[in-house]
Amino acid sequence: MVTNHDNLSSHPTTTGTHAASPTAVPPSDDALAAVAAMSIGVLGGTGPQGLGLARRFALAGHRVVLGSRSAERAAAAAVPLADEGLPVTGADNAGAAGADLVVVAVPYVGHEALLEGLRAELAGKIVIDCVNPLGFDKQGSYALDVAAGSAAQEAAAILPASTVVAAFHHLSAVLLADPGVERVETDVLVLGDDRSATDVVQALTDRIPGMRGIYAGRLRNARQVEALTANLISINRRYQAHAGLRVTDV
C-alpha cells in the first residue's frame, strides 16, 4: 500500500492540552501583517489532515476553502465546521487554489497530476506542501524514493511561478480535528528557498495555539523531513500516542 502519510492518527483521541510550549521566536512585523488577513485554500481538504488543518486555520481567524475533485463533496465536508461558526467553505480544487495562500494535503499518488493541472491558478502564490511520500507494508511505513528528491521539490519543479514552502508534515490529524484539544503542542519545521515566504509560513504557524514555526533549511532538505513521518508513525503505534516534535534550545 502506498499513500502520502498515515496522518499520525491511528490511535484513540487525546483531549485537553499537553505540556506548555517553549518561548517562540516572535515573527517579524512584516510577516504578521502579511499573513493576518490571508484566506487559505486546502487542496485535499476533505481528507483527515486537510480537515484538521482547516479547523486550526479557521480557529486562528482565517477564511478557509476546502478543495476536492468534487465541489459537492468539499461543500458537504465544510458543513460541520461552518455549523460551528467557523469560516470554512468548500469548492473544487481550482476554486480552493484561488485563495491567497494554498496548502497541498493530498495523497502522494495524486500529487503530481493535481499540481500540473493547477499551474495557472497557483502562479504568484505561496504554496505550502505537507505531503509525505510514504509506503506501507506488513513491516509498517517507509519513505518512498522521489525522483525530484522530495514531494516539496517536485512541487517546486511543477510550479515554477509559485513559491513552494514545505511545512506541517508531522501533525496528528486526530489532534487537529478534535474540538476538545485547544492547543496542539508541537514545533513545525518550515523549509524553503525564499526568506519572506518562510517567514510568512512561520507566522501562520504561530497563529495556531501551541504551535511554533521553526526554520529548518532550504527546500533541498525536505526529503528527510518528509521521511521522518514514518518514524513518528512507528512511535505512535508502539506507544499509542500522537507524537510531535520539539526543537530544543531555540
Per-residue pLDDT tens digits of the chain, which is 250 residues long: 344 444 554 433 333 334 444 444 566 777 777 798 999 999 999 999 999 999 999 999 999 999 999 999 999 999 999 999 999 999 999 999 999 999 999 999 999 999 999 999 999 999 999 999 999 999 999 999 999 999 999 999 999 999 999 999 999 999 999 999 999 999 999 999 999 999 999 999 999 999 999 999 999 999 999 999 999 999 999 999 999 999 999 9
Q: How far is CA 52 from the centre of its chain?
A: 9
Please report the pLDDT score of residue 25 as a whole number: 56
Please report the pLDDT score of residue 8 as a whole number: 59
What pairs with residue 67 in β-bridges?
A: 43, 91
Q: Can you tell me whether residue 184 is helix, strand or coil? A: coil
Going by the DSSP 8-state scheme, the letter that residue 20 receives in this structure is: P
Domains of the chain: 2-7+26-239 (3.40.50.720)
Please report the pLDDT score of residue 164 as a whole number: 98
Please report the pLDDT score of residue 27 as a whole number: 66
Residues 6+ apart with CB under 8 A from 127: 101, 102, 103, 104, 155, 159, 162, 163, 164, 165
Q: 65-82 in b/e burial notation, b at 16+ Cβ within 10 A?
A: bbbbeebeebbebbeebe
- Burial class of 40 by CB neighbour count within 10 A (0 to 12, 13 to 18, 19+): buried
Please report the pLDDT score of residue 88 as a whole number: 98
Q: For residues 158 and 210, give the distance between their C-alpha atoms in angstroms, rounded to a whole number.
A: 33
Please report the pLDDT score of residue 146 as a whole number: 97
Q: For residues 15 and 39, give the distance between their C-alpha atoms in angstroms, rounded to a whole number.
A: 28
- Burial class of 233 by CB neighbour count within 10 A (0 to 12, 13 to 18, 19+): buried
Please report the pLDDT score of residue 147 as a whole number: 97
HSE at residue 51, side-chain half, CA atoms within 13 A, is 21
